[in-house]
Amino acid sequence: MSLRSSNFPKLALCACYQAHANPGPAAERGSALDALFRARMAGLPEQHEMFYQPNEADLEAVEWAVTTLGALAGGADVLTCEKDCRVAIPGLENPGTADAIIPEKLAHADLKTGQKRNYREQMAGYALGLMEAHFATEWSAHLLFCDQKEVVTHRFSFEEARTIVEGVIARFNDPNKKPTACEYCGWCAKHEICPARLAQTETALTVANPGFDFAAVLSDNGKLGMFLTACSVLDDFREQAETIAKERLEAGQEIPGWKIGSRRGPEFVDHVTVGHHIQALGFGAVLAAYGNLSAKKFRDLWEAKMPGKPFPEENVKHGKATTSLRAVKTQPNQN
């Protein structure tokens, strides 16, 4: 596998990480919004033939990124053309490509879709290459998380960026490296054969052993944590197994102890029809049947229909807070 800067954050957690050849729908959306972002920044017409068709929320997210980048640039020139944004990173055969570079500000920006994650190592790679290209000793990297409409900025000195990049490359090239289970396991091409994940799965499967002492697990916090981690990995394998089993059952094969179940799809009346009868039914009765509207949706409607008028925050109700169990994600420290 050739070493690419886009994999730096994954390799920082697991030196054995290998990207999938087919990245999936989320990556396709990210690539489409990236292309749209570059087109908007360059003032080019919108592309109508794309492998992913952006929806209204996507277009709003891109517009936010364009506006935000303009504010960060503060009137300085912004490079967004791919050929102008390629970055030669020391130690890598393949260059990286930033989404935007602001040379006057000694900064670059990258559009990120989906949930917020750690991209510090990737940004350090870009920063190192750009500092060398611009003879700079400091550099800023702006992450534009367009779905959350948030900016996260990393600032690097030349030595800090070089230390981060050289560390990732050294771990990747270590002949004695071993896989480490982490939050990116589901994205890895080797996730089905990874010895670290298989070892965790074996821990969970010991429940089937008559000698398994579940009470001992529940009484020991260390064992309980290991067991929960193993179960989360087993869930991932279970989903894949269920998909394959369903395909085989639908093809007429037999899976001992399992069969295909089906149920009729839900019945509904679309909102247009409801609107047609809403006066006869009564607005209050229909709205009560629909239930509460999320504060976000109500804010969006308010801003669209009553721009400039203050939103009535006093009308927002707060439900009871809930708690959930989440795995702790090990990540390098971020600036």
Q: Is 37 part of any domain?
A: yes
Structural domain harbouring 36: 22-173
Give the mean pLDDT of the chain: 87
In angstroms, the CA 137 to CA 129 distance is 11
Torsion angle (degrees, nearest 10) of CA 78, 82, 87, 93: 180
Whether residue 237 has pLDDT greater than 70: yes
Q: Is 318 part of any domain?
A: no
Question: Mean pLDDT throughout 16-43?
Answer: 86
Q: Is 145 part of any domain?
A: yes
Using only the alpha carbons of the chain, give its radius of gyration. 25
Q: Is 275 part of any domain?
A: no
pTM over 0.75? The answer is no
Q: Is 108 part of any domain?
A: yes
CA 254 → CA 49, 242, 318, distances in Å? 43, 13, 50
CA angle 25/27/33 to nearest 5° reads: 105
The model's pLDDT over 91-103, given as tens digits with 9 standing for 90+, comes to 999 999 999 999 9
Q: Is 123 part of any domain?
A: yes
The model's pLDDT over 130-140, given as tens digits with 9 standing for 90+, comes to 999 999 999 99
Q: Tokens 């298989």 map to which residue? A: 198
β-sheet bridge partners, residue 155: 140
In angstroms, the CA 112 to CA 9 distance is 14
Total domain count for the chain?
Answer: 1
Q: Is 179 part of any domain?
A: no
Q: Is 137 part of any domain?
A: yes
* DSSP conformational letter for 98: -
Burial (0-12, 13-18, 19+ Cβ within 10 Å), 65: buried
